[in-house]
Amino acid sequence: MTILVFADIVGRIGREALAQILPKWKTEFTPTLTLANIENLAHGGGITPHTVAKLIELGVDVMTGGNHMWDNPAYMEVFANKDLAGHIVRPLNDVGVKPGVGALELEKDGRRFTILNVMGQTFFKNAYPSPFDALDQALTKADPDSIILLDVHAETTSEKALISRYADGRVSAVWGSHTHVPTADERILPGGTAFMTDVGLTGAHNESIGIEYEKALTLVKDGVKTHLAPPYSGPAEVNAALLFFKSGNRLPASIKRLREIVTVLPN
């Protein structure tokens, strides 16, 4: 059995790049489950009914989130629609009262799955509660025989590594999202959990972590505030992690990085 994991799908260019590659990878790897992070799914950030429906149509089974998933007010429409909201896992340790669930259980092809999502605490504007405590609480309620998958949405590699070792042996796989750059450290941890610090974005390739270079430069070099957004078209990268499981096992046998560069045409 295989599971296909994408991190941040960024804007229109990311959605269209995914549409080019996902059918090919589904044919090649026949994943039982496909996951993606959607905090930047809509162009300019956040989520909308149209963009979430697009990923479901492409065959994404479960979507995880992060701090930017609330940037677009249209998230309220998404969570008001049960057909869309039923595919989404928001961070367990988010701040304030947020719609949706931080843990999602489902069964597919005779296998049971539990998907979890936590926020890191370092370098975020909001003071998020402990992801370690949130994970502990979630695992007391999770089916211990299910395949448990954890998206750690965090800024620093060190925090992602700490959470992964804390979860080692208790979950099936941990991967990082949010920082958009794929890391070359995929491995099986000592306790049997698959780990990759960041799976990497699916989005613009020759830009600043998916954001238009000129706008990012204006902000960082000149200190001029501007609306940061990805380009609509151009070269795009598609990054993912592929988990391999032997029959009946809840811990994976291996994890593999996937990456392709494509061209997304204008509307």
- pLDDT tens digit sequence for 116-138: 999 898 878 878 889 999 999 99
In angstroms, the CA 55 to CA 76 distance is 18
Residue-averaged pLDDT of the chain? 95
CATH of the domain at 197: 3.60.21.10
The whole-number pLDDT of residue 114 equals 99
Q: What is the pLDDT of residue 122?
A: 81
User: Domain range holding 143?
Assistant: 2-264
Distances (CA, A) of 174 to 148, 151, 170, 251: 9, 6, 10, 11
**Residue 65 · residue 153 · CB < 8 Å:** yes
Average pLDDT for residues 223-249, to the nearest whole number? 92
Q: How distant, in Å, are the alpha carbons of 5, 132, 187, 194, 267 from that of 242?
A: 6, 25, 11, 10, 31
Q: Distance between CA 66 and CA 120 in Å, rounded?
A: 10
Structure tokens at 251: 């811990």
Could you tell me what percent of the chain has a pLDDT over 70? 100
- pLDDT tens for 178-204 read 999 999 999 999 999 999 999 999 999
Reported pTM: 0.95
Instruction: Note the pLDDT of residue 241.
Output: 99
* Residue 68 known to be catalytic: yes
Q: How many helices (H) and strands (E) does the chain have?
A: 7, 13
The rounded Cα 178 to chain-centroid distance in angstroms is 8
- Distance (Å, rounded) from C-alpha 214 to C-alpha 233? 15
In the chain, the number of structural domains is 1
The single residue of 68, 87, 153, 205 carrying the catalytic annotation is: 68
Count Cβ atoms within 10 A of the Cβ of residue 7 and give its class: 0-12 exposed, 13-18 middle, 19 or more buried. Answer: buried
pLDDT of amino acid 93: 94
